Structure 1
Amino acid sequence: MLGSRLATLILLIGVTPIVARDAVESRTPPEKISLAALGARLFTDPSLSKGGKTACSSCHMPSRSFTDGRARSIGDSGIQTRRNTPTLLSVSRRATYFWDGAEAEFQAAVQRPLFDPDEMGNVSADALVVRIRLAEDYESDFARAFGSPEITLTRIGEALAAYIRDIDEASRHAAAAEKPSLTSQQLAGRRIFSGKAGCGMCHAGPALTDEAFHNTGLAMPGEAAADTGRFSVTGDPSDAGRFRTPSLRAVASTAPYMHNGAFADLDMVIRLYERGGGSPWVRDQAEEADPVARNMASVSPLLAPFVLTEDERNALIAFLKKL
């Protein structure tokens, strides 16, 4: 256990051991632990949530490439959130964070879910810090990681950020070291990815994302649960319905897909793009006159219909599964 201590009690008079109430206890100095090790403990601790039921790892499961397998995540209140849980692989070097780019700084992004009422639900930093202080051995672990036992929100965020960076870097190194050879089918899929299907226009670079926001035609204006995406951050009507381009790292194990988890498998995603994206619409003149609704009902000009044979579609899926 990360919070365990090594302690040695030596009670000697001459050479005869005895037990005494007022004996002097001698302890070995506590070993240092890394910030990432402390972050790993915090990451799996439901004490970080208001109700004590939800840990970071409840939605970001290591066994699912740090996603949860749900269309949309379940918060500490037991209520389904608005959006799909994205993988934490490739996140530490992003330009902005979350599907709508709500944060531009990594540590702020790490702390944000702690206070989101739909996620971990904390209402104040003070209440969160008190719960962690009351948990067994955390002061010892903070002392071993930071050099002093003070527990603060900033330190909690630093430890969580260190852990997420650690898993991100480890996965990058593993991917670079593996250098998998591709079968003829996967090579064909790579050509389709970069060519006919146009996936590489947005899914490019080491993290397989252009760091931009696009409307794929899945945001329907006028619905009760309509998600305006990037517009909710910028207030710019042209951003309505736009969502971040997700990384495709480990994409085979991060289903379901899209910001709302609408598609259960990669075949469904590819067929969406074959059609040139979704088919949103404005329902009446009022929506037509509303720039937010009108932009939500549009589709990125980068999405043009294309046709794949069944063999080509299977080849593209085979390549995606190697990413």
Structure 2
Amino acid sequence: MRTFYSEDHRLHFPQAELSGGEFVTPFERPSRVEYVLNRLRERGLSDIMAPRPVDMAPIRTLLDPGYLCFLETAWEEWKREGMAGEIIAANVPARGMHLDRIPTNIDGKVGYYCHASETAITSGTWAAALSSAACAQSALGHVAAGADAAFALCRPPGHHATADQYGGYCFINNAAVVAQMFRDKGAARVAILDIDFHHGNGTQNLFYDRDDVLFASLHGAPQEAYPYFLGYADETGIGKGDGLNLNYPMTAGTGYGAWAAALDDAIGKITAWGADALVISLGVDAYKDDPISFFKLDSDDFTNAGRRIGRMKLPTVFCMEGGYAIEAVGINTVNVLEGFKDI
């Protein structure tokens, strides 16, 4: 399986994240990628390529133009206002406030376009986000050309990014871009399966009313886990998309038995729906020792999960999402890919 990876991910490295009432080194950091790359090479999966330049057309199809302009210019505006540090949201529109009026001051814009203040923007964030999307697009191109599967080693990740908001370490929704490109290349029905511990709220947001993309997410129950305000089981889609949004929220301490049962149910529904192509939001933070999650999967469970996914026999693009137990992130990620290849 070919991996697409860009060195430009290093351009995004915020020096602080607000967690537990204090500033800490971000859990989403460049070293995550190094552990994955090292493990790929250890296991002989050394077909690793740089992506082609990003294609903005499918990104513009999905995302709000004002939001894209904000991401591109935010750092320059921030510095022009004399701000000394990294961009962190300090003001957000709350209940009873205007959601239809965008501030002109950069501090206000940041709050308008952000849904989680743990996510900072730096001088290199926009370039890194574009390189991450480029990896996803190149993986899609490889599969569209006839490969069974490809792995986009995306950083920053993407599944929390909506059409017009960033957060959860995400800026451009890479999995959504791949799904749109599958559609543009002729796939009638595309499924996105999100196995990251955290609900893919951004992906749900982008496809909630569409009947050509099915979204299924296995995640921590939103009353207990980020992103808190989305991901309940009764969120099933609206309009043409009714019934095509599948949420599997699970409580603290969930082990592989219950998690795998949810995975099998999602796989069964994707298969019954007749998907032509598959996108996997590959987060491995369901791991038992992940510092910001509460499921109890072991490393071997990720191999088994990969086998289950592989049995669908669909053209598949894997997009890297979360996983913050740094020393295990490479093992768990590659285990999924090796399990998939076993079929």
Query: How high is the TM-score relative to the length of structure 2?
Result: 0.27
Higher strand share: 2
TM-score, normalization by structure 1:
0.28
Rg larger in structure: 1
